[in-house]
Amino acid sequence: MATRDTDWDGVRLHVVTGKGGTGKTTVAGALALALATDGRRVLLMEVEGRQGIAQLFDVPPLPYAERRIAVGPGTDAHPGGDVFALVADPESALIEYLQMFYGLRHAGSALAKLGVMDFATTIAPGLRDVLLTGKAAEAVRRKDGSRGRTYDAVVMDAPPTGRIGRFLNVSAEVSDLARVGPIRGHADTVQQVIRSPETVVHFVTLLEEMPVQETLDGIAELRTLGGIRPGAVIVNMTRPLALPSRQLQAAAAGKLDQAQLAIGLKSAGLDDSHGLAGALAAELAEQARTTLGQEEQQQRLDTAGQPCYRLPWVSGGIDLAGLYRLAWALREQKAA
């Protein structure tokens, strides 16, 4: 297998978080595709029961089972690999866990019927989260006889930035509640995976005030938890405005020379009789103000000192072609 030179060589669990509306699921999907190269096997995992992966890859709703859903983009030199998907829910994970470790097949279903998941999510939300992170840890560690590790990488579409610290540190929280006992042992194992150098947490953001603030807060929070590694900041939906800085400033201030636009439009054979130059100048002015605001936000992000990738805005919404485009963009920037 060809050696790679990416920013995350050696990382096997990529946790992808982001504020709602930043395109976290899309980026997780693109990252899974990008990682699926040279015959590598990648598991893309969803934990919030939204069937976001199925919608993204345009396949029917996915069950609690690992299914191959896509092939990573390949070239002659570097053929693609396989992307598998798993929709993990705490109830199925609990039943599987009981069966795997205690051989309790029917007990699990009985517990589910009695409302044990209500119990778990209510009284000890940590229990729910530890089942989900536990499933990811299991997939990371799983081996099958012939080829060593079952998956070369696991990408988790994780809860939003506001909850990520608690979600990942949950094993520690469970440990606080359960000082001894089997659940404690399980939590400790999960914690080892989450806190190993094989795990990083990527933050998806837009260049807007709130998502940037949450990203910075989230990175700072992870740092206080000790051993949970912040990964990249992935700026999604960037739409640079191709104007020299001087013009950008002028446009933002509403001082763009409309006569210039009128000249340009005339050369292009467009008729300016409907006030086209004025309307286009208004569009430029708005976009210029947005762009200047975004530059400010980018500088704030840079203070976090994490690697930063930029993904282009895909006009008209994300379809499969758009998703592959984002995957290539991630590879070009050595994210995968």
Partner 1 sequence: MTGRPSPQLDVDRLIDDRRTRIIVCCGSGGVGKTTIAAAIGLRAAEHGRHVVVLTVDPARRLAQSMGLTSLDNTPRLVQGIKAGPRQAANDAEPAGSLHAMMLDMKRTFDEIVEAHADPDRAAQILANPFYQSLSSSFAGTQEYMAMEKLGQLRRADEWDLIVVDTPPSRSALDFLDAPQRLARFLDGKLLRLLTAPAKVGGRAYLRALNAGFGMVTGVLTKILGTQVLRDVQTFVSALDTMFGGFRERADYTYQLLRAPGTAFLVVAAPEEDALREASYFVERLDTERMPLAGLILNRVQQVPAAHLSAARSLAAAEVLQASLAGNTQPGHAVRGHPGTGHAGADDDAPARQLTIAALQLHADRMTQAAAERRIAGGFTAAHPLVPVAEIPAQAEDVHDLEGLRRIGQSFGSD
Binding positions for partner 1, 56-95, rule CB under 8 A: none
**Is 24 within 8 Å of 208 (Cβ atoms)?**
no
Q: Select 129 or 152, whichever has its Cβ closest to partner 1.
A: 129
> Cβ of residue 138: shortest distance to partner 1, in angstroms?
16
Q: Is 225 in the site for partner 1 (CB under 8 A)?
A: no
Q: Select 146 or 224, whichever has its Cβ closest to partner 1.
A: 224
**Of residues 58, 176, 188, 295, which one binds partner 1 by CB under 8 A?**
176
Report which secondary-structure segment, H or E, holds 129. helix 125-141
> Cβ of residue 305: shortest distance to partner 1, in angstroms?
22
**Of residues 58, 65, 118, 332, which one binds partner 1 by CB under 8 A?**
118
The C-alpha atoms of residue 163 and residue 20 are separated, in whole angstroms, by 11
**Of residues 67, 149, 166, 300, which one binds partner 1 by CB under 8 A?**
166
**Is 139 within 8 Å of 151 (Cβ atoms)?**
yes
**Of residues 54, 59, 225, 241, which one binds partner 1 by CB under 8 A?**
241
**Of residues 184, 300, 325, 334, which one binds partner 1 by CB under 8 A?**
184
Q: Is 168 in the site for partner 1 (CB under 8 A)?
A: no
**Is 191 within 8 Å of 130 (Cβ atoms)?**
no
Question: Which of helix, strand or coil describes residue 99?
Answer: helix
Query: Which positions from 7 through 26 interact with partner 1, judged by CB under 8 A?
Result: 19-22
Q: Which tokens in the block code for residue 243?
A: 């104007």
DSSP notation for 171-235: HHHHHHH-SSSHHHHHHHHHHHHHTSTTEEEEEEE-SSHHHHHHHHHHHHHHHHHSSPEEEEEEE
